Structure 1
């Protein structure tokens, strides 16, 4: 959440940043917030003055009573009654204005970093790196949703969409045999690699309350995309970012404990309302999927160095999996609500002949930290907001799709990348 003092002192910069994210009526929204903030501050000043006058009057009454001037003291008491009524009215006004101001502030997305390119849609994202040779597949190679029907003869298909649809609905596949073991192997591999990079593993809850959703920016922005249990007012998590980052809500982190580096494996749940078409077939888009998330909390001056480190970590995973990939710097119009800068990773899907997004790595600067009240004390003993970052390292479904498609062999089998063989215990899927 943006801070009123920042908006007030950087009005033009704020409007320009909101326009870069294609936020509607940016100037009117900023003007409204500046106006409310001024009313809030004026009301606070008036309240402070009334309280100071009331305290002075109380001291005056005490002195009069002590000196025996009871009549004058009683007359002054009538003034204190009026002052108390006035202070109560000002407190109520201040509370109402603060609520209105907060309602307006939470509507504003984070401002984009200066390096974020202009643009409205994914077509305007900037390709900054492409690595790995795209595989040449044998004749008869298939996209993964057709390939899985020919794999695992005894338990075919190895990823069963129809069975998942019977149990739950579309977008909830059932993994069987080697497909299930491959999932488990990838989770262990990604967690081990994160551990080697200094991330402390967390096993968080997979349901969160509304305060947690608000603190990381999922609420109220993405409420329609989250599964909600109305009876207990709890939400199934869309990503481990939410519970892991909320571990540090209302926390002042010791400077010596920075940076904080956590990793978590969780299932993730997304309604994906309105998603349809060929681009969401098979594993391309699911309502439930497994993902390993890396989270960092760092000083403002260190956060972009940390972002680069996280990008390199994801690059290393994809290279070890032998997958061709590219990195995109997202344009203003395609960025997330809370992000200041996001890099998307996409893997090449040879069976579909298209790129599939498999990771987003983002710096939120102090946007989430302001909602979280996540701070640290500087060497000068000043309390300062921290920066939060997170990234998928990695989300499994599209990685599985790319691994199956890209590694099809002429004999109809699928080769498993060497780095995963010790984890899954086999080198091919027949």
Structure 2
């Protein structure tokens, strides 16, 4: 959530920052300011009446002690009480209106983030050269089928389009990738979390997905109660809620978490030929990193998260590029995002396997997550996240970039201790 003080003090800056996202919310900002003025006036009126009520109430025992008639004062008290009740109700309505308007505002992009949509994304650097084959390379779908790694047909049979089944060496490679990621993060001092997959509404609200993107998740309604939950679209949604409504100490920060979960997305695969297989799906596995930091430490934390995600892809030996996203391509809650995109030879394009983002205080304001600094002053923490990594594109990239002329696939060296083989060969 954007700081209301910033909107009051510099509305033109807020409007210009939002325009970098290719969004025009000038009228919303103006309405927020108008409602905020009304709210402050209403708050002042309520407080004035309550102060008057307190002063009048102190007169009653004095009058009674002196043997006087307090009926007139009691009548005034009753009238004040009714006026306060009415004023409180009005103030509550104004607060709700302001909250509704504030939720329309996305996070403000950092000043150095490029304006515009995804066409303005900037490739920062590349790792390794694109693989060159002296034979006709196959796509990952055909390779995985010929190697018995993925069963697409039975996946679609039991779960519909956008689903697949890992089996044999495919299941073992998926598990090896996850083990490799988790062990690397543990070695770096991150705490492993296995969160629930069904979350309450507040989790989506704090993460910034609700109410605007509430139709992009899978909802689950308990048929025997009013309990309604949603399937997590990413472990970030759970991790940024761990300290909701808590006050941390400066000594506790930074907090560094990783979580392994499947991720559930309503976004359907485009089903174009170049995106078949595992490139898009309704469920995929991911290891997610999240940090809670002091504001002054969040830039360094962001650099750390980007570096960690890059190191994983580098150790797998995959060609990739790092892209700095333009404001319009950053998600609603994020002030800046870098994407790590692996090369998929058969598609001839790069596909994102990790997004590293800094939400600044946006999520913490929604979740009321604060810390007490060295001067005993309360501040909102900063939250950051990065995939470390999503596997549904890592595995296709491995299979395609490591394929051999005989249809086999060489196993990346860092995965061999988990799999027990150097090469996955075609089935007889």
TM range (shorter): over 0.9
Query: Are positions 1:308 and 2:308 aligned together?
Result: no
Query: Are positions 1:346 and 2:341 aligned together?
Result: yes
Match of 2:104 among 103, 107, 116: 107
Q: Kindly indicate whether the alpha-carbon contact (under 8 Å) linking 1:138 and 1:408 is maintained by their aligned counterparts in 2.
A: no
Query: Are positions 1:192 and 2:183 aligned together?
Result: yes
User: Match of 1:297, SS?
Assistant: strand
Query: Are positions 1:355 and 2:350 aligned together?
Result: yes
Residue 137 of structure 1 is matched in structure 2 by 133
Alignment of 1:90-169 (within 5 A): 90-120=87-117, 122-152=118-148, 158-169=149-160
Relative to 1, partners in 2 of residues 1:310 and 1:293: Cα closer, same or farther, differing over 3 Å?
Answer: same
Distance 1:187 1:382 in 2: 41
Q: Kindly indicate whether the alpha-carbon contact (under 8 Å) linking 2:162 and 2:268 is maintained by their aligned counterparts in 1.
A: no
CA drift of 1:276 comes to 4.1
What TM-score does the superposition give when structure 1 sets the normalisation length?
A: 0.96
Deviating more after overlay: 128-137 vs 283-292: 128-137
Q: Kindly indicate whether the alpha-carbon contact (under 8 Å) linking 2:125 and 2:321 is maintained by their aligned counterparts in 1.
A: yes
Q: Kindly indicate whether the alpha-carbon contact (under 8 Å) linking 2:361 and 2:383 is maintained by their aligned counterparts in 1.
A: yes
Deviating more after overlay: 131-140 vs 198-207: 131-140
Distance 2:103 2:195 in 1: 26
Residue 3 of structure 2 is matched in structure 1 by 3
Residue 175 of structure 1 is matched in structure 2 by 166
Distance 1:137 1:151 in 2: 19
Q: Kindly indicate whether the alpha-carbon contact (under 8 Å) linking 1:2 and 1:367 is maintained by their aligned counterparts in 2.
A: yes
User: Match of 2:85, SS?
Assistant: helix
Residue 60 of structure 1 is matched in structure 2 by 59
Q: Kindly indicate whether the alpha-carbon contact (under 8 Å) linking 2:341 and 2:351 is maintained by their aligned counterparts in 1.
A: yes
Distance 1:17 1:276 in 2: 36
- The C-alpha deviation readout for 1:57-94, integer Å capped at 9, x for no partner, is 11112211111222xx2111111111111100010001
Q: Kindly indicate whether the alpha-carbon contact (under 8 Å) linking 1:138 and 1:409 is maintained by their aligned counterparts in 2.
A: no
Q: Kindly indicate whether the alpha-carbon contact (under 8 Å) linking 1:228 and 1:236 is maintained by their aligned counterparts in 2.
A: yes
Distance 2:407 2:274 in 1: 25
Query: Are positions 1:329 and 2:324 aligned together?
Result: yes
User: Match of 2:298, SS?
Assistant: helix
Residue 266 of structure 1 is matched in structure 2 by 261
Q: Kindly indicate whether the alpha-carbon contact (under 8 Å) linking 2:257 and 2:291 is maintained by their aligned counterparts in 1.
A: yes
Residue 23 of structure 1 is matched in structure 2 by 23
* Aligned Cα root-mean-square deviation (Å): 1.1
User: Match of 1:261, SS?
Assistant: strand
CA drift of 1:273 comes to 4.3
Residue 294 of structure 2 is matched in structure 1 by 299
Number of residue pairs matched by the alignment: 421
Distance 2:133 2:246 in 1: 52
User: Match of 2:286, SS?
Assistant: strand
Residue 12 of structure 1 is matched in structure 2 by 12
What TM-score does the superposition give when structure 2 sets the normalisation length?
A: 0.96
CA drift of 1:119 comes to 1.5
User: Match of 1:246, SS?
Assistant: coil
Relative to 1, partners in 2 of residues 1:138 and 1:408: Cα closer, same or farther, differing over 3 Å?
Answer: farther
Residue 364 of structure 1 is matched in structure 2 by 359
Distance 1:85 1:428 in 2: 80
Residue 43 of structure 1 is matched in structure 2 by 42
Unaligned runs of 5+ in 1: 153-157
Distance 1:8 1:276 in 2: 47
- The C-alpha deviation readout for 1:110-168, integer Å capped at 9, x for no partner, is 00001110112x2210111111111112412111012222213xxxxx21111011101
Distance 2:62 2:400 in 1: 88
Residue 78 of structure 2 is matched in structure 1 by 81
CA drift of 1:190 comes to 0.2
User: Match of 1:239, SS?
Assistant: coil
Q: Kindly indicate whether the alpha-carbon contact (under 8 Å) linking 1:137 and 1:406 is maintained by their aligned counterparts in 2.
A: no
Alignment of 1:380-391 (within 5 A): 380-391=375-386
Q: Kindly indicate whether the alpha-carbon contact (under 8 Å) linking 2:144 and 2:170 is maintained by their aligned counterparts in 1.
A: no
- The C-alpha deviation readout for 1:13-71, integer Å capped at 9, x for no partner, is 110111111223x211101001111111111110000000011011112211111222x
Residue 409 of structure 1 is matched in structure 2 by 404
Distance 2:211 2:125 in 1: 34
Q: Kindly indicate whether the alpha-carbon contact (under 8 Å) linking 1:225 and 1:273 is maintained by their aligned counterparts in 2.
A: no
CA drift of 1:277 comes to 2.2
Relative to 1, partners in 2 of residues 1:137 and 1:274: Cα closer, same or farther, differing over 3 Å?
Answer: closer
